[in-house]
Amino acid sequence: MRKFLKILFLLVVGLCLAGAAAAKDSYTMKFAFQFPDKLYEANEASFANAFKTHLESTSNGRIKVELYPGGVLGKERENFVNVQNNVIQATLSSVGGIAQFYKPISVVDIPFAFKNHNVAWRVYDGWFGDEIRADILGKTGIRCLETTETGGFFAFTNSEKPVKTPDDMAGLKFRTMENPGHIKMITLLGGSAVPIAWLELYTSLQTGVIDGQMNPLPTILIAKLQEVQKYVTITNHLYGTDWFMINEAWFQSLPADLKQNVKDAAEIANVADRGAQRLLDSLAIGKLKDAGLNIYTPTSQERDLFKNKVQKSYVDWLGKEVNPAWIDKFMKAIAEAEAI
Amino acid at 231: Y
Who wins on pLDDT, 151 or 63? 63
Could you give all domains of the chain from N- to C-terminal order, each with its CATH number? 27-339 (3.40.190.170)
Who wins on pLDDT, 326 or 281? 326
pLDDT at 1: 44
Dist. CA 334–CA 312, nearest whole Å: 16
Q: Average pLDDT in the 259-272 region?
A: 98
Whole-structure pTM value: 0.88
Task: Identify which of 22, 47, 78, 3 has the alpha carbon closest to the alpha carbon of residue 241.
Answer: 47
Mean pLDDT of the chain: 92
Who wins on pLDDT, 251 or 3? 251
Cα dihedral 170, 175, 177, 182, rounded to 10, equals: 0
Q: Which residues contact 18 (CB under 8 A, 6 or more apart)?
A: none
pLDDT at 24: 53
- Give the chain's largest Cα–Cα span: 95
Q: Is 190 left (phi over 0), alpha (psi -120 to 50) or beta?
A: left
Would you place residue 253 in the very low, low, confident or very high pLDDT band (cuts 50, 70, 90)? very high
Q: Which residues contact 200 (CB under 8 A, 6 or more apart)?
A: none
In eight-state DSSP terms, residue 151 is E
Scanning the chain, the segments in alpha helix (DSSP H) are 2-24, 43-58, 76-84, 95-99, 117-125, 127-140, 180-188, 201-206, 217-222, 248-252, 256-290, 300-321, 324-339
Instruction: List Cα–Cα distances, 25 to 29, 64, 83, 207, 234, in angstroms.
Output: 13, 12, 21, 51, 50
pLDDT at 296: 97
Who wins on pLDDT, 43 or 325? 325
pLDDT at 282: 83
pLDDT at 19: 41
Q: What is the DSSP string of 248-284?
A: HHHHHTS-HHHHHHHHHHHHHHHHHHHHHHHHHHHHH
Q: Average pLDDT in the 100-118 region?
A: 95
Task: Identify which of 202, 276, 236, 205 has the alpha carbon closest to the alpha carbon of residue 42.
Answer: 276
Dist. CA 278–CA 135, nearest whole Å: 30
The model's pLDDT over 157-201, given as tens digits with 9 standing for 90+, comes to: 999 999 999 999 999 999 998 888 999 999 999 999 999 998 899
**What spatial distance separates the first Cα and last Cα of the chain, rounded to whole Å?**
79
The answer to whether residue 217 scores a pLDDT higher than 80 is yes
The model's pLDDT over 191-205, given as tens digits with 9 standing for 90+, comes to: 999 999 988 999 999
The answer to whether residue 142 scores a pLDDT higher than 70 is yes
